Amino acid sequence: GNTPNGGPSSLTFPELRHQLAQRDAVAEGHEIQLVIRWGDPILADAPEHDPHRQTPEAQARQFGYNNDYLDFFPLPQGSRASDRGLLVVNHEYTNTNLMFPGLGSGREARARVTAGQAAVERAAHGLSVVELRKEGGRWSYVRDSRWNRRITAETPMRISGPAAGHPRLRTEEDPAGTRVRGTLNNCAGGNTPWGTVLTAEENFNLYFGGEAATAGPQAAAYRRYGILKDPVYGWGRHEPRFDLDRTPNEPNRFGWVVEFDPYDPQSVPVKRTALGRFKHEGATHAISADGRVVFYSGDDERFEYVYKFVTARPWTPGDPAANRDLLDAGTLHVARFEANGTMRWLPLVHGQGPLTEANGFASQAEVLIEARRAADLLGATPMDRPEDVEANPVTGRVYVMLTNNGSRKAEQVNAANPRPANIHGHIVEIIPPGAGTGRVDHAAEEARWGIFLAAGKPGIDPGTQYHRALSNEGWLSCPDNCAFDSKGRIWIATDGAPITSGVADGLYAADTVGPGRALTRLFYQAPAGAEVCGPCFTPDERTLFLAIQHPGEDTGSTFDRPTTRWPDFREGAPPRPSIIAIVRKDGSVIG
């Protein structure tokens, strides 16, 4: 149901009521259209989805699992078309228990995975590129478009930048350390002003394991990234490159930001090592006043850091050749927040400050491979799990989604992470020099900052911070992804609210300036067990795409007995991660 709106806000939709249900819901006056689901055939020779008899060959031609980041690239290229375009989608991970019948739930399901099922899972990772069209007001995908593409955990990629070819990136299969198979755990992403897409490798540690995680020359480095002797995924039993004891360097080839051209299905994706190796949530850009491009990126783990990469050179509009390798040269920085409302971006440059041979950094490559340890030495501020970091295109202010950190103790709080046992998370607002003018200096090494909101339920959870006119439905928990509309309003997607608050994950919107600042309102709610990802507007803002990830990911949920069968609700069939399009019933602009 919907509630009447109170308080000053530029948003006009009537907000939803919180719930936790098998079905999803959107604010009155809007319509949810199902666009594409896990297993839908997208290459010309792809078979229909049969979840009872899935094969790696079929999966590599079908839409992958657990859709996270999504982006819309208009067709024709360079236009602002809003009824035809390429949808680019990350497939972050797989829920083994919900993909295959008869495996049971959780880790026990992963322990039972066969070699064939592990190959299906690798084919369900990566990305999809698929052409979409809106005809007669309805969105659908084009099944055999010449642009459609699957990228998987096996797709050949190039490694570039300062760490390419470093001995720690070399393997038997790739003695030069410049070629790698696949991309893993692609959570959020971003795009570039020159028309390519970026996909971020996040929890890559889950796939690798072996004795070398606890003993041997790289054990400390592996520990810093959470690589365990017994990995979460059982692929290493079937594939030597996921077994550290047979392929000790393979994990160093993951944890990067990957760039590719979505308009060229033959393009070889490139891992851009200059942006550093950590659990990248995403990598979103802002153009600084002097034309250099800045990429913001969170390292999503408790007590990890917020980073930005500044290109060495300005980008050149209309000259693809000049921009092609712009991401190979520049400076990675990490954020340090001060209690007086100022902050510094500390450069991770080999030879500067503590980043020297004496501290185990022989080169810039080594600073980038162990970016976390370099950031520790620089005195970066440990955060409450940095997820999306995005610049508001209207105001130039930058928003950092800090999803939660239940492990922070009272003696570990700092000004930018002020709550102990912060299970609901908060959003930090960074104000670069020149924000609010036409010349924002995103490349600057200093900025101001404040807290935009502190999540949780007011009156129940300590330390919440919102607009004072917040309704009973506008509070949120666990901010993760965000997007901005052309009026500069923020749309916040959540991941984890069923666990922390007993309500569905959702999408909330708020003004960022003016009398309605931080007055969040509930717009969309996911089905049981799902998080909401990838909010993305078409250029005309008449469509909002959402990625609904891991429906039915609940304790004990299995293929055979899932907590929801969204979106098909077909008896005997599992839930399916899917992309939806939200439009207004009268066809007008959303918001």
Residues forming the site for ligand FEO (CB under 6 A): 92, 187, 202, 281, 300, 387, 480
Q: Examine residue 553 and tell whether it contacts Ca ion (CB under 5 A).
A: no
Q: Which is nearer to Ca ion, 249 or 297 (CB)?
A: 297
Q: Which is nearer to ligand FEO, 202 or 505 (CB)?
A: 202
Q: Which is nearer to ligand FEO, 92 or 366 (CB)?
A: 92
**Integer Cα distance of 305 and 504 in angstroms:** 28
Please name the amino acid found at residue 214: T
Q: 3-class DSSP state for residue 97? A: helix
Decide if 292 contacts 371 (C-beta within 8 A).
no
State which of residues 495, 505, 511, 553 lies at the interface with Ca ion (CB under 5 A). 495
Q: Which stretch binds Ca ion (CB under 5 A): 145-153, 180-188, 220-228, 501-509?
A: 180-188
Residue 553: name its binding partner from ligand FEO, Ca ion, none (Cβ under 5 to 8 Å by kind).
none
Q: Which is nearer to Ca ion, 287 or 476 (CB)?
A: 476
> From the CB of 529, what's the least distance to ligand FEO, in Å?
15
Residue 461: name its binding partner from ligand FEO, Ca ion, none (Cβ under 5 to 8 Å by kind).
none
Q: Which is nearer to ligand FEO, 243 or 480 (CB)?
A: 480
Q: Which is nearer to ligand FEO, 15 or 387 (CB)?
A: 387
Q: 3-class DSSP state for residue 259? A: strand
> From the CB of 327, what's the least distance to ligand FEO, in Å?
21
Residue 581: name its binding partner from ligand FEO, Ca ion, none (Cβ under 5 to 8 Å by kind).
none
> From the CB of 403, what's the least distance to Ca ion, in Å?
5
Buried b (16+ CB within 10 A) or exposed e, 249-272: bbbbbbbbbbbbbbbebeeebbbb
Q: Which is nearer to Ca ion, 66 or 558 (CB)?
A: 66
> From the CB of 281, what's the least distance to ligand FEO, in Å?
4
Residue 308 phi, psi dihedral angles, 5° rounding: -145, 150
Please name the amino acid found at residue 242: F
Q: Examine residue 369 and tell whether it contacts Ca ion (CB under 5 A).
A: no
- Secondary structure (DSSP) of 170-204: --SS-TTS-EEE----EEEEEE-TTS-EEEEE--G
Q: Which residue has the tokens 């207004």?
A: 584
Residue 505: name its binding partner from ligand FEO, Ca ion, none (Cβ under 5 to 8 Å by kind).
none
> From the CB of 498, what's the least distance to ligand FEO, in Å?
15
Q: Which is nearer to ligand FEO, 87 or 478 (CB)?
A: 478
> From the CB of 456, what's the least distance to Ca ion, in Å?
17
> From the CB of 279, what's the least distance to ligand FEO, in Å?
7
Q: Which is nearer to Ca ion, 202 or 261 (CB)?
A: 202
**Integer Cα distance of 254 and 105 in angstroms:** 27
Pairing type for strands 126-135 and 138-141 reads antiparallel
Q: Which stretch binds Ca ion (CB under 5 A): 385-393, 430-438, 501-509, 510-518?
A: 385-393
Q: Which is nearer to Ca ion, 516 or 552 (CB)?
A: 552
Q: Which residue's Cβ has the minimum distance to Ca ion?
A: 495
Q: Which is nearer to Ca ion, 13 or 278 (CB)?
A: 278
**Integer Cα distance of 244 and 242 in angstroms:** 6
> From the CB of 476, what's the least distance to ligand FEO, in Å?
16
Q: Which is nearer to ligand FEO, 71 or 281 (CB)?
A: 281
Q: Which is nearer to Ca ion, 49 or 385 (CB)?
A: 385
**Integer Cα distance of 368 and 210 in angstroms:** 24
**Integer Cα distance of 422 and 281 in angstroms:** 19
SS3 content of the chain, % helix, strand, coil (to 5): 15, 30, 55
Look at residues 369, 330, 370 and name the one whose alpha carbon lies nearest to residue 347.
330
Q: Examine residue 480 and tell whether it contacts Ca ion (CB under 5 A).
A: yes
**Integer Cα distance of 465 and 459 in angstroms:** 11
Look at residues 283, 334, 277, 332 and name the one whose alpha carbon lies nearest to residue 305.
334
Q: Which stretch binds Ca ion (CB under 5 A): 133-141, 186-194, 337-345, 579-587?
A: 186-194
Residue 473: name its binding partner from Ca ion, ligand FEO, none (Cβ under 5 to 8 Å by kind).
none
Q: Which residue has the tokens 């008896």?
A: 571
State which of residues 187, 293, 435, 590 lies at the interface with Ca ion (CB under 5 A). 187
Q: 3-class DSSP state for residue 374? A: helix
> From the CB of 219, what's the least distance to ligand FEO, in Å?
25
Instruction: Tell me how many residues contact Ca ion (CB under 5 A).
Output: 4
**Integer Cα distance of 477 and 460 in angstroms:** 13
Cis omega before residue 76 (within 30°)? yes
Residue 366: name its binding partner from ligand FEO, Ca ion, none (Cβ under 5 to 8 Å by kind).
none
Residue 92: name its binding partner from Ca ion, ligand FEO, none (Cβ under 5 to 8 Å by kind).
ligand FEO
> From the CB of 202, what's the least distance to Ca ion, in Å?
7
Look at residues 352, 355, 394 and name the one whose alpha carbon lies nearest to residue 374.
355
> From the CB of 531, what's the least distance to ligand FEO, in Å?
8
Q: Which stretch binds Ca ion (CB under 5 A): 3-11, 212-220, 283-291, 475-483?
A: 475-483
> From the CB of 137, what's the least distance to Ca ion, in Å?
31
Helices (H), 286-438: 320-323, 364-369, 371-378
Buried b (16+ CB within 10 A) or exposed e, 517-536: bbbbbbbbbbbbbbbbbbbb
Q: How far is CA 29 from the centre of its chain?
A: 29
Tell me how far CA of residue 290 lies from CA of 194, 314, 316, 519, in angstroms: 16, 7, 12, 34
**Integer Cα distance of 396 and 286 in angstroms:** 8
Q: How far is CA 575 from the centre of its chain?
A: 21
> From the CB of 498, what's the least distance to Ca ion, in Å?
12
Give the footprint of Ca ion on this chain (CB under 5 A): 187, 387, 480, 495
